[in-house]
A and B are shown apart, each in its own frame.
Chain A
Amino acid sequence: MICPACSKVIKHKVASTWGSETLKCIYCGYVFAIDPKTMGFGDRRVLKVADKLSKGGQRYFTEQQLACACLLKKERSPQFMSIFIWFVAGFVATFVIVAGAMEAPPGLGLFIVALIMGLFCALVGFSQKPTNKIWSGVQRYCQKKGHPFLITPTGAKAIIDRLLKKDKLSFDDFHPEKALIVDDVEFVALLLLNNFHRDSNCLVLDVNNVSGPFYDYFVKRQTSDEKLDVFAVHDGGKTEEVMVAQIKNNSKWIGCEEITDLGLTREALSNYKRGTWINELTGTITNHNPKKIDEKYISNSVYPIDCIPPDKLNMSLHACMASGCVMLSPEMFAAIGTGSSHNSGGDGNNSYDSSSSGNSSYDSGTGGGAGFDDFG
């Protein structure tokens, strides 16, 4: 184990106090949140990923985002080496066991049998799903250790409450052009803290909260001549997909008859090859594979929208709202690739690269091949 605080290597048995589950660094006293023996990964991995996600303190992120990012590249897709190891293990085991049981020296027949068993094991290895419990481990880490730029469910609620408790919340100089309804309060906090509202001049609302000054402002606008264009965005998944229908059927959401669903839709996910699924019941995190989308929908897994890298998320949402395309569609990648739709304008002194990140890869012609370089 490597201590994330002092970077010293400690043996697990040394770190664990006898009879206690607490793991402690003997050099600096750091108390570990995750037991790598049971979880398959440790505090250091989570902290490193969290630091990377926050971009040195420029961006906020959610637990889901952190969990998705913790899934390593080698865990996302079966690697040649791991398949090879499965093959060798199968081959050697068969050879040793069968040769030991036989009296005659091993011949070509045994070699063929061992080869077949090796191939069978490789096949098993190929179909192996990650079984580590990244979601539970990350949740535990977030609960015990936190991070200055992490948005937890409780943290998100506190942030929004702080805003709502403002004594004189004046709407005099506030005039958004559009409203975005999202699926939970963490996502609202994420978008606000990462400045989506001010870059896109957008009112961000939580679908579960139909009260408070910002909701009242929304109602006021929707019942006036200056109606807001309304958009919705949600995670991918069976229950998540019905969010827009629920909004339309809810009389509290006034003026949402022409609401635009930005996804994540099943159709967009069927044509897209990157990203991550979380099964909150089992705690399993798996790589997205368009061919296995039915399986994910049946198992009630969630494709969290906030697993899109934070800086790309704002840009993508803005592009989708401007052009009406859905998130993760080839049209969206084409739109953000131009770099012209995000935060355009200024005091007559812009340049084309005033907003583009300049490092998103896109190719509308390649369909599912397009994507973010650093997705997850």
Chain B
Amino acid sequence: MFGFVGVVSRTEQDLPAFSGSSIQFEKFEFHSKFKIFPEKEDGQTFSCSDGAIVKILGLFFAASKTPKSLSNFEEIADGAFTAFAATPNEFRIYADPCGWRSIYFREEGNLLYITSNIRYLREYLGLQLEPVPERSIDFLCTSFIPGLETLTKDVFELPMGNVLEWKGQNNLVIRDYCRYDTFPKVEKSLPETASELHAICLKNTENIMQTSGKKECTVFLSGGLDSTCALSSAIDIFGLKNVKTISVHFGSDLPNENIYIDEAVKYFGCHHRYLEISPNSFLSEMDNLYKWIDDPIGDPVVMPNYMMNQAIDPKEQLVITGEGGDPCFGGPKNVFMTNSLQYSDIYCNGSNDDFLATCYLESFKRAYDDAAQLSQFSEPTFGGRLDKLHANLNTHLTNLRWESFLDRLLFANKYLKSNSLILPKVQKTTQPFFRYSLSPLFSRAVIEFCARTPIQIKYPSLKEKFILKKAFLGKIPQSIIDREKSGMRVPLRFWQGNKIKAFNKEVLLRKNKALTSKFFNIKEIKALLKHPRPRQGLKSWMLSTFILTAKNLYEPKS
């Protein structure tokens, strides 16, 4: 898994002193210096027939087809990549169609800084990084910072399927090149649609194998539907002997998904490893882990992902996961939203524009209910930021290009959660180990399939992942198809009376009190750590990991 940091300018003399190598865009008068990690992953460079130059880092699924032009590139681009392109008029950066690879940028006069990790801007280019404290309100409400903005001042994230077009001198445009909302619906029979989806998943797995050049892979198994479907695809393409699986549990005294994992392992006959995680095993790793998180992610699943990556053999360089199943095929939180909409008239704010956004935030079940208390900001700053967040969410939740509300919701989840939460949490935990991690269930081909398949075929009567279940019927254990959704659950509440509590106190109050007080209300944090309240464990975890991320970004020497 690669990382990079670079700077582009229209004039060579403006480039800062930095020991990076140049990408050959000079003929269009775009001068650049880049550092790519590891250096051997230098990517591919194409010259299109229209003269444009494209450099691609990462896994580009259409590598065998040289793009004829940039518009042709935009049509065929799929995979987990970052692409740079130059034309006589502009320099472009392409985010991949799913948002597998994070791209952060900062524009300063004649210079455009680009990086895969925000901290590289400080470490390699000497830029001063500062937080925008009020963006912590977004984090409290969602457990991440959705959209273009990041916690860092003047640093933005390029959304999935978007291209940044830069002409220099503050002339910057961001454009959606995938336009999923323009796909017309195609009516097909259920068996036809299901087999099409299965074929797409297999093709994705084949693409992952070919572009990564790896003959073996490790599948992260959770016992749920998505990861089992990913395992089935991996075995079909890589062959049983080349597929290993790993899962986590939190000790025999705590609930786990081992029954379903056992069933999957027995069904496929693959080589499996169980990894037990406890506070003793991960607390010492927290600092190392959150160094890699560029923009706060409060989801506790980051930790088991990292621990699994750490546990597997360094020679195993490709990880397959089941990410993307929920935003593509429908998770349980959609029911909360559709029921809210059905009964909207009973609520006093039911006819307000913000009603949907409010429900969406409530459905996250994070710290939205306590955000006003936990935040150090009071009105009008708090309300103003919340309004901005609502507006950002409403852009997707009220996109009338989608006829069905459920389509609107599914695509909102892709743009908001996948791009800023689900995929970064995979990418940032595999990057320290120089591994690739992808999912056969989440690619441009899958998203386009979802865009053109009518709701009544892919998600009838809100039946969770209906079409995915049909696609893998007979190919995975029936008990996993029939089981209820559970999700990976980290037992934070059970650990509260344990070392985690001391850890939270240390991070939030003892070591970083001044930093914590920039974002959060210290008195309320003390109350949160002391007295039980709904989702106490999750909320304290969110705050502690936020501070670890902020410390590594803005006060690394403290």
Residues of A within 8 A of B (CB): 58, 159-160, 162-163, 165-166, 169-176, 189, 192-193, 195, 197-199, 201, 226, 311, 339-340, 343-359
Q: Which of B299, B341, B345, B536 contacts A173 (CB 8 A)?
A: B341
Interface centre among A166, A344, A350, by most chain B C-beta atoms within 10 angstroms, is: A350
> When A174-B338, A345-B486, A357-B534 are in contact, do A352 and B491 touch as well, CB less than 8 Å?
yes
> When A173-B341, A174-B342, A175-B461 are in contact, do A350 and B487 touch as well, CB less than 8 Å?
yes
> When A159-B346, A166-B345 are in contact, do A358 and B488 touch as well, CB less than 8 Å?
no
A201 and B538 alpha carbons, distance in the complex (Å): 24
Q: Which of A174, A189, A349, A356 contacts B301 (CB 8 A)?
A: A349
Is B345's CB under 8 angstroms from A351's CB? no
4 closest pairs, A vs B, by CB?
A353-B493, A198-B339, A345-B332, A173-B338
Interface assignment of B484: CB less than 8 Å from any CB of chain A: yes
A223 CB to closest chain B CB (Å) equals 16
B323 contact set on A, CB distance < 8 A: 348
Smallest CB gap from A322: residue in B: B484
Smallest CB gap from A162: residue in B: B345
Is B343's CB under 8 angstroms from A197's CB? yes
A356 and B536 alpha carbons, distance in the complex (Å): 9
B440 CB to closest chain A CB (Å) equals 16
Smallest CB gap from A348: residue in B: B487
B42 contact set on A, CB distance < 8 A: none
Is A347's CB under 8 angstroms from B347's CB? no
Is B492's CB under 8 angstroms from A174's CB? no
Q: Is the interface of B mostly helix, strand, loop or mixed?
A: helix
Interface assignment of B555: CB less than 8 Å from any CB of chain A: no
Interface centre among B406, B422, B535, B536, by most chain A C-beta atoms within 10 angstroms, is: B535
- Show 27 A/B contacts (Cβ-Cβ < 8 Å), sorted by A: A170-B342, A173-B341, A173-B342, A192-B346, A193-B347, A195-B362, A198-B339, A198-B343, A311-B534, A345-B487, A346-B332, A346-B333, A348-B224, A348-B323, A348-B325, A348-B487, A349-B299, A349-B425, A350-B486, A350-B489, A351-B300, A351-B490, A351-B492, A351-B493, A352-B494, A352-B537, A359-B532
Is A173's CB under 8 angstroms from B406's CB? yes
Is B536's CB under 8 angstroms from A353's CB? yes
A352 and B257 alpha carbons, distance in the complex (Å): 13
Interface centre among B300, B336, B362, B536, by most chain A C-beta atoms within 10 angstroms, is: B336
Is B301's CB under 8 angstroms from A162's CB? no
> When A175-B461, A340-B255, A346-B487 are in contact, do A351 and B537 touch as well, CB less than 8 Å?
yes
A353 contact set on B, CB distance < 8 A: 492-493, 496, 534-538
Residues from 413 to 453 in B contacting A, C-beta threshold 8 Å: 413, 417, 421-422, 425
Is A352's CB under 8 angstroms from B492's CB? yes
B514-558 contact mask (Cβ, 8 Å, vs A): 1 or 0: 000000000000000000111111100100000000000000000
A351 CB to closest chain B CB (Å) equals 5
A270 CB to closest chain B CB (Å) equals 31
Smallest CB gap from A160: residue in B: B346
B157-183 contact mask (Cβ, 8 Å, vs A): 1 or 0: 000000000000000000000000000
Q: Which of B340, B485, B486, B536 contacts A198 (CB 8 A)?
A: B340
Interface assignment of B462: CB less than 8 Å from any CB of chain A: yes
Smallest CB gap from B494: residue in A: A352
Residues from 393 to 417 in B contacting A, C-beta threshold 8 Å: 404-406, 413, 417
A189 CB to closest chain B CB (Å) equals 7
B333 contact set on A, CB distance < 8 A: 345-347
Is A189's CB under 8 angstroms from B536's CB? no
Q: Which of B224, B226, B342, B541 contacts A351 (CB 8 A)?
A: B541
Is A348's CB under 8 angstroms from B343's CB? no
Interface assignment of B331: CB less than 8 Å from any CB of chain A: yes
Q: Which of A169, A189, A345 contacts B331 (CB 8 A)?
A: A345
A351 contact set on B, CB distance < 8 A: 300, 489-493, 535, 537-538, 541
Smallest CB gap from A159: residue in B: B346
Interface assignment of B369: CB less than 8 Å from any CB of chain A: yes
A174 contact set on B, CB distance < 8 A: 338-339, 342
B343-379 contact mask (Cβ, 8 Å, vs A): 1 or 0: 1011100000000000000100100010000000000
**A198-B339, A353-B534 provided; 18 other pairs, C-beta below 8 A?**
A165-B345, A172-B405, A173-B342, A173-B404, A174-B342, A175-B463, A189-B346, A192-B343, A344-B332, A345-B332, A345-B484, A348-B222, A348-B323, A349-B487, A351-B535, A352-B490, A354-B489, A357-B533
Interface assignment of B3: CB less than 8 Å from any CB of chain A: no
A357 contact set on B, CB distance < 8 A: 532-534
B334 CB to closest chain A CB (Å) equals 9
Is A358's CB under 8 angstroms from B484's CB? no
A189 contact set on B, CB distance < 8 A: 346
B352 CB to closest chain A CB (Å) equals 15
Smallest CB gap from B485: residue in A: A345
> When A192-B346, A353-B536 are in contact, do A197 and B488 touch as well, CB less than 8 Å?
no
Residues of B within 8 A of A (CB): 222, 224, 226, 255, 299-301, 323, 325-327, 331-333, 335-336, 338-343, 345-347, 362, 365, 369, 404-406, 413, 417, 421-422, 425, 461-463, 484-494, 496, 532-538, 541
B533 contact set on A, CB distance < 8 A: 357-359
A159 contact set on B, CB distance < 8 A: 346
Q: Which of B331, B369, B463 contacts A347 (CB 8 A)?
A: B331
A366 and B3 alpha carbons, distance in the complex (Å): 58
A201 and B496 alpha carbons, distance in the complex (Å): 30
Q: Which of B336, B413, B534 contacts A356 (CB 8 A)?
A: B534
Is B342's CB under 8 angstroms from A171's CB? yes
Q: Which of A165, A348, A358 contacts B534 (CB 8 A)?
A: A358
Is A347's CB under 8 angstroms from B417's CB? yes
Q: Which of B422, B462, B489 contacts A352 (CB 8 A)?
A: B489
Smallest CB gap from B324: residue in A: A348
Is A344's CB under 8 angstroms from B346's CB? no
Q: Which of B222, B336, B484 contacts A199 (CB 8 A)?
A: B336
A349 contact set on B, CB distance < 8 A: 299-301, 421-422, 425, 487-488
A354 and B207 alpha carbons, distance in the complex (Å): 37
A195 and B335 alpha carbons, distance in the complex (Å): 12
A172 and B455 alpha carbons, distance in the complex (Å): 10
Smallest CB gap from B490: residue in A: A351
B497 CB to closest chain A CB (Å) equals 12
B180 CB to closest chain A CB (Å) equals 19
Is A348's CB under 8 angstroms from B488's CB? yes
B462 contact set on A, CB distance < 8 A: 173, 175
A44 CB to closest chain B CB (Å) equals 26
A311 and B534 alpha carbons, distance in the complex (Å): 10
A195 contact set on B, CB distance < 8 A: 340, 362
A199 CB to closest chain B CB (Å) equals 7
Interface centre among A201, A352, A357, by most chain B C-beta atoms within 10 angstroms, is: A352
> When A159-B346, A350-B487 are in contact, do A201 and B335 touch as well, CB less than 8 Å?
yes
B425 contact set on A, CB distance < 8 A: 349
Smallest CB gap from A199: residue in B: B336
A160 and B365 alpha carbons, distance in the complex (Å): 27
> When A192-B343, A226-B461, A346-B331 are in contact, do A355 and B365 touch as well, CB less than 8 Å?
yes
A347 and B489 alpha carbons, distance in the complex (Å): 11
Smallest CB gap from B366: residue in A: A354
Is B327's CB under 8 angstroms from A347's CB? yes
B222 contact set on A, CB distance < 8 A: 348
A79 CB to closest chain B CB (Å) equals 28
A338 CB to closest chain B CB (Å) equals 8
B535 contact set on A, CB distance < 8 A: 351, 353-355, 358
A182 CB to closest chain B CB (Å) equals 15
Interface centre among A172, A226, A344, A353, by most chain B C-beta atoms within 10 angstroms, is: A353
B491 CB to closest chain A CB (Å) equals 5
> When A162-B346, A193-B346, A352-B489 are in contact, do A346 and B365 touch as well, CB less than 8 Å?
yes
A171 and B338 alpha carbons, distance in the complex (Å): 10
B366 CB to closest chain A CB (Å) equals 9
A348 and B329 alpha carbons, distance in the complex (Å): 13
B490 contact set on A, CB distance < 8 A: 351-352
Smallest CB gap from A311: residue in B: B534
